[in-house]
């Protein structure tokens, strides 16, 4: 009888130890990360079904080697080519909530959009917000993704971006340093400010931005401001060129009269205006524009 009791006790102890060990292993792997809203998000394990609502985040996930984990991307996500076969969930600002839910993601990556993030969370989805406005924000995004995936790829990806920007800067002739550039992001006109990631790229290339810091990152400008500034070079997407030429007084600007306007194709614009892992390629495109137009200070 005593032997049976001891045996039963031993089996019970073994089961208890096994259960505790399993629980501790689970707790040891569980982790919490703070997103760019300041919200703490819990993870039991790295996500394997991800929805991205922003092209730059889609590109970052793929650069970190997790393209295969994407089950949904926004309509504008078109790089790398592998994402073209992934389900599109609508625009980043107005995504199809029902479609996102139907994809059963274990994580939704997005930029700050309180209305959408709250709605998704109300429906039981895990949301992680990442916001990139400056170069350092892109590095932070990569580091956060590293933490989410439990990997160590952020520095590798960022070093590649940095090297490409440096190469682009070295390709700009000394005679073109300090020329004054107007970079139009979209009609309005909305411009890239000096503190934006595009503005920071221009600084790295050794040129000046006519839009001062105090106007903001991507301010809507009075068209007369640009006319008075009379930049040496204008960079704009090709689908905005017709609108630009119709603006009062703009035909008289030196850059337009002397054909110092770089028009970017849609593919080039996508590369340049996304704050992400292709900023180095964007810097190269702008550097080529400066060199091709032969603008000298």
In this structure, of 14-23, 144-153, 197-206, 253-262, the range with the lowest mean pLDDT score is: 14-23
242 within some domain: yes
Residue 87's SS3 state is coil
Q: Which residues contact 59 (CB under 8 A, 6 or more apart)?
A: 77, 79, 80, 274, 276, 277, 278
Residue-wise pLDDT tens digits, 241-267: 888 889 999 999 999 999 999 999 999
Ramachandran area for residue 99 (φ above 0: left; ψ -120 to 50: alpha; else beta):
alpha
> In this structure, what token pair is assigned to residue 67?
């393209």
Same domain, 137 and 201: no
> Mean pLDDT across the stretch 281-297?
90
Which pLDDT score, from 0 to 100, does residue 295 have? 72
Domain end, chosen from 152, 183, 211, is at 152
126 within some domain: yes
Which pLDDT score, from 0 to 100, does residue 216 have? 96
Cα separation, 169 vs 165, whole angstroms = 6
Residue-wise pLDDT tens digits, 112-162: 999 999 999 999 999 999 999 999 999 999 999 999 999 999 999 999 999
Same domain, 188 and 287: yes
Q: Which one-letter DSSP state was computed for residue 282? A: H
- For the cut 60, the answer to whether the pLDDT of residue 239 exceeds it is yes
Same domain, 132 and 185: no
16 within some domain: no
112 within some domain: yes
Same domain, 115 and 39: yes
Same domain, 177 and 279: yes
What is the Cα gyration radius of the chain?
25
Residues of the chain with pLDDT > 70: what percent?
Answer: 90
Q: Answer positive or negative: Cα dihedral of 146, 152, 155, 157.
A: negative
**Quick check: 130 and 57 in contact, CB under 8 A?**
yes
**Quick check: 231 and 255 in contact, CB under 8 A?**
yes
**Quick check: 120 and 100 in contact, CB under 8 A?**
yes
The domain containing residue 55 runs over which residues? 32-152
Same domain, 40 and 98: yes
In this structure, of 2-6, 188-192, 220-224, 288-292, the range with the lowest mean pLDDT score is: 2-6
161 within some domain: no
- For the cut 60, the answer to whether the pLDDT of residue 38 exceeds it is yes
- For the cut 50, the answer to whether the pLDDT of residue 2 exceeds it is no
269 within some domain: yes
Same domain, 50 and 125: yes
Same domain, 104 and 184: no
CATH of the domain at 240: 3.40.50.1980
Same domain, 133 and 179: no
Residues of the chain with pLDDT > 90: what percent?
Answer: 85
262 within some domain: yes
Same domain, 64 and 129: yes
Same domain, 114 and 178: no
Same domain, 178 and 148: no
162 within some domain: no
Number of structural domains found in the chain = 2
Residue-wise pLDDT tens digits, 158-174: 999 999 999 999 999 99
């Amino acid at each position: 009888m005593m032997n049976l009791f001891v045996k039963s006790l031993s089996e019970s102890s073994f089961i208890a130890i096994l259960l505790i060990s399993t629980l501790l292993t689970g707790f040891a792997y569980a982790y919490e990360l703070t997103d760019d809203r300041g919200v703490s998000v819990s993870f039991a394990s790295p996500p394997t079904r991800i929805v991205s609502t922003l092209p730059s985040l889609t590109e970052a996930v793929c650069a970190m080697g997790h393209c295969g984990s994407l089950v949904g991307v926004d309509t504008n996500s078109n790089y790398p080519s592998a994402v073209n076969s992934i389900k599109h969930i609508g625009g980043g600002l107005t995504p199809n909530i029902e479609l996102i839910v139907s994809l059963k993601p274990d994580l939704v990556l997005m930029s700050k959009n309180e209305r959408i993030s709250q709605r998704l969370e109300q429906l039981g989805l895990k949301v992680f917000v990442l916001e990139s406005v400056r170069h350092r924000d892109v590095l932070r995004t990569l580091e956060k993704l590293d933490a989410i995936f439990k990997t160590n790829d952020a520095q590798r990806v960022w070093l590649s971006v940095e090297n490409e920007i440096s190469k682009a800067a070295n390709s700009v002739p000394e005679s073109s340093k300090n020329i004054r550039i107007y970079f139009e992001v979209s009609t309005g006109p909305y411009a890239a400010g000096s503190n934006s990631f595009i503005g920071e790229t221009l600084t790295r290339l050794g040129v000046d931005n006519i839009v001062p810091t105090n106007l903001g990152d991507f301010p809507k400008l009075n068209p007369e401001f640009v006319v008075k500034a009379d930049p040496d070079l204008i960079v704009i997407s090709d689908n905005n060129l017709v609108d630009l030429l119709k603006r009062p007084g703009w035909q008289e600007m030196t850059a337009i009269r002397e054909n110092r306007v770089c028009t970017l194709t849609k593919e080039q614009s996508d590369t340049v205006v996304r704050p992400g892992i292709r900023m180095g390629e964007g810097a190269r495109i702008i550097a080529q524009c400066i060199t091709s137009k032969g603008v000298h200070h």
